[in-house]
Amino acid sequence: MKSIILKTGSDYLLPLLIMFSIFILLRGHYLPGGGFVGGLIASIAFVLHFFANSLENTKNIIRIHPGLLIPVGLVFALFSAIIPLFLDQAVMTAQWMHEPLPVIGMVGTALLFDIGVYLVVLGVTLTIIFTISETM
């Protein structure tokens, strides 16, 4: 699968799709979107790049092993769950900042949780796809 058009296109699509996935992640709390879908879109971005170029090229872009994203994501989610414990509230009680941040909007532990989901989904999908294509 070596097509110049796809190869050139994927170079521009990769950053665009990743930005789009982050956009989807951030708007999740108010409009359709969220960490799960965002993570899937981000992985599609990398998979597209990998199809157009080669696995080595894509791996060089990511630099780290995608599997490393999984524990990081789980820790994010876990943190969002135990933060309220230290504020003397029940586990997973959402905490919110009082003022919305510019661009991003209201930020709370739910976003932290969603980022965790995003990272886990991205890590899992890429690990599975990369592993399969490497060993086949």
Q: What are the residues binding another protein (CB under 8 A)?
A: 24, 28-37, 40-41, 43-44, 47, 51, 67, 70-71, 73-74, 77-78, 81, 85, 88-92, 94, 96, 106, 108, 110, 113-114, 116-117, 120-121, 123-125, 127-129, 131-136
For tokens 């399969």, the residue is 132
> Which C-beta is closer to another protein: that of 18 or that of 92?
92
Residue 74 beta carbon to another protein: minimum distance, rounded to whole angstroms = 6
Residue 128 beta carbon to another protein: minimum distance, rounded to whole angstroms = 5
> Which C-beta is closer to another protein: that of 15 or that of 71?
71
Q: Supply the angle between the helices 109-135 and 55-62 in degrees, to the nearest 10.
A: 150
Instruction: Classify residue 58 as left (phi > 0), alpha (psi -120 to 50) or beta.
Output: alpha
Maximum CA extent, the chain: 58
Residue 123 beta carbon to another protein: minimum distance, rounded to whole angstroms = 7
The SS3 call for residue 101 is: strand
> Which C-beta is closer to another protein: that of 36 or that of 59?
36
Residue 50 beta carbon to another protein: minimum distance, rounded to whole angstroms = 9
90: which DSSP letter?
A: -
Within 2-108, where are the H helices? 4-27, 35-52, 55-62, 69-86
